Amino acid sequence: MKKLLGLSFILFYTSSFFSQSSSEPGYVSGNVQAIGQYYQEDTLINAALPNHLYGFNGFTNINFQKGDFRAGIRYETYLNTLEGYPTSFSGTGIGYRYLTWNKDNVEVTVGSFYDQLGSGMILRAYEERQLGIDNAIDGLRLKYNPYKGVYLKSFIGKQRHVFNDGLVNGNGIVRAIDAELNINELFDSLANSKFKMELGGSFVSKFNNDNNTPDYILPLNVGASSARLNMRYDKWRFSGEFVHKINDPYPDNQDERFNYLYKNGEGLLFNLGYSTKGFAVDFSAKHMDNMLWRSTNVSVGPTDLLIGFLPALTKQHTYNLAATLYPYATNPRGEISYQADLIYKIPKKTILGGKYGTTISLNFATSYVPKRDFIDDQLTSRNSYSTQYFSRSDSILYQDINIEIKRKINKHLKFNVNYFNFIFEDRAVLVAQHHELIHAQIAVLDLTYKINREHSLRFELQGLWTKWATPEQGDSQLISTGETVPRKQDQGDWAFAQIEYTFSPHWYVAILDQYNYGNTEPKKQLHYALASAGYINGSHRFSLQYGKQRAGVFCVGGVCRAVPASNGLTFTFTSSF
């Protein structure tokens, strides 16, 4: 409470100073989010049932801006933390606060800030509240634009680690410098050219001495450097980035070959795209090896104190079965990945395009374990293996082939049809119930019927089918009746159905059900029914949902968190001002 009162005084004093130093009006903005869940017992689905029975996560951002100055705080509350959310979030207090001044091409920020250099492989400080990720840097950042087209940036600070009645930083210190040249801004003769080019480079280092192993000499300072290039000409675009990180040993209890590995880390990321009216194609390739790094060498949670971000080369799925049963998760030890996207709109008023046109989207993504030549140096240099750029092994991690067709039939009816074909190596990510190489197919039909300007209905049907297990995987299993029966991979087949009714501009109601009808074990052929309703008024949104939620994973950009099964009532409120 003392911290809150103290910071409130600072903001009040700062705003008073602003009002005296500038004739411009100041303004306040912000947003609020609150999620509460009441848990009920459900032994059939092994639902989470904490002692407190009720979980609550909430936060409020308040920002003030006047002239060249900005200031803000975020007040957070976890009483008690929702099940599945990181347990490192607890209590109530201030988790983020900053003050920024910007004038004469100079910007200074003190306090908390988020930032990203290039693709984020070398550094990404960001918040993803749904995953419980917040590695904001707490320190000082300086941005300087000394000449047109030249952008310089430097910062130093500690990363947010946990929240315990307020912000708690990790011990490690992160230091970074970044430079970017916009060639078209730098040279007047290229200002109006169709050819656009940007060059950039970064250097990031960390210092930490919180290591607790007597077995190895761990470096106190670890550095990483990167170079990047972005180009565009007319309808073409290209980007490339190279990142190199020196040795950064970190404990790995699953495989001794990666435990306190002293090998350097490397990352290469390329993208080539072409787009024109009604057509776009995009190709991406990634080589990443040993690029996981944190501001500590002590074992922490999977998403704690991450300096770099491991970008995903897959489509971000939104349909339930595709998004939550076998989602892509970036392999932190390394991967060779490729992705291709193609979007084509069949012109309207044609036989195939129909009255309004038809959009077809094709996507292919795959990831493999890098080809590694292991060496016996565990008692000496501990490099463990050598590898070559874009040299992949035969060990597949993930493959996703999907197609989407969108078409508007008339002014009342439109549909989406989707097909997904997955290969999913769960022995690498451990999110399924059976850790094996899983083959799954998913089909989705999404229909929206607009009754009139204010009322509409949406119907969604999904099906997921896995292959029969092979003899090597154990093609049969003993079930509760004492019989031995053939086994389908993982949990077998699923069906999903949802109906949603919207009466604009304020209300909606929805009912959905997930049914694991193809589970080999009869007692696990369960329904997960859920009903929800919501009210929307401008920037304010309130929703309630009641029912069962199955255990699964939630992923954003290749970063995932496990979500336990639950049964109960959940309310959500969001607002901005």
Tell me the β-bridge partners of 354: 350
Q: What is the pLDDT of residue 15?
A: 52
Find the largest Cα–Cα distance for the chain: 82
Q: Give CA–CA dist 484/487, Å, rounded.
A: 9
183 class by beta-carbon count within 10 Å (0-12 exposed, 13-18 middle, 19+ buried): middle
pLDDT at 479 over 90: no
291 class by beta-carbon count within 10 Å (0-12 exposed, 13-18 middle, 19+ buried): buried
Degrees, nearest 5: CA angle 8-9-15 = 90
Look at residues 282, 279, 280, 305 and name the one whose alpha carbon lies nearest to residue 292.
305
Mean pLDDT of 495-516: 95
Digit-coded pLDDT (tens) for 41-81: 999 999 999 999 999 999 999 999 999 999 999 999 999 99
pLDDT at 246 over 80: yes
Pair 466, 516: CB distance under 8 Å: no
Mean pLDDT of 434-451: 95
Mean pLDDT of 255-281: 95
Confidence grade of residue 4 (pLDDT, cut at 50, 70, 90): very low
Q: What is the pLDDT of residue 337?
A: 97
Confidence grade of residue 492 (pLDDT, cut at 50, 70, 90): very high
Q: Give CA–CA dist 536/520, Å, rounded.
A: 42
Q: Which helix (H) or strand (E) covers residue 427, if one does?
A: helix 426-429
* Residue 524, token pair as written in the block: 């696990």
Confidence grade of residue 253 (pLDDT, cut at 50, 70, 90): confident
Digit-coded pLDDT (tens) for 102-159: 999 999 999 999 999 999 999 999 999 888 899 999 999 999 999 999 999 999 999 9
Based on its alpha-carbon atoms, the radius of gyration of the chain, rounded to whole angstroms, reads: 26
- When the pLDDT of each residue in the chain is averaged and rounded to a whole number, the result is 92
Confidence grade of residue 214 (pLDDT, cut at 50, 70, 90): confident
Phi and psi at 473, nearest 5°, equal -90, -5
Going by C-beta distance under 8 Å and a sequence separation of 6 or more, which residues neighbour residue 314?
328, 339, 365, 367, 398, 400, 558
What domains, with CATH codes, occur in the chain? Answer: 104-311 (2.40.230), 312-525 (no CATH)
Q: What residue type is assigned to position 422 of the chain?
A: F
Mean pLDDT of 358-384: 94
Q: Give CA–CA dist 422/366, Å, rounded.
A: 10
Q: Give CA–CA dist 294/159, Å, rounded.
A: 10
pTM of the model: 0.90
Look at residues 504, 559, 501 and name the one whose alpha carbon lies nearest to residue 533.
501
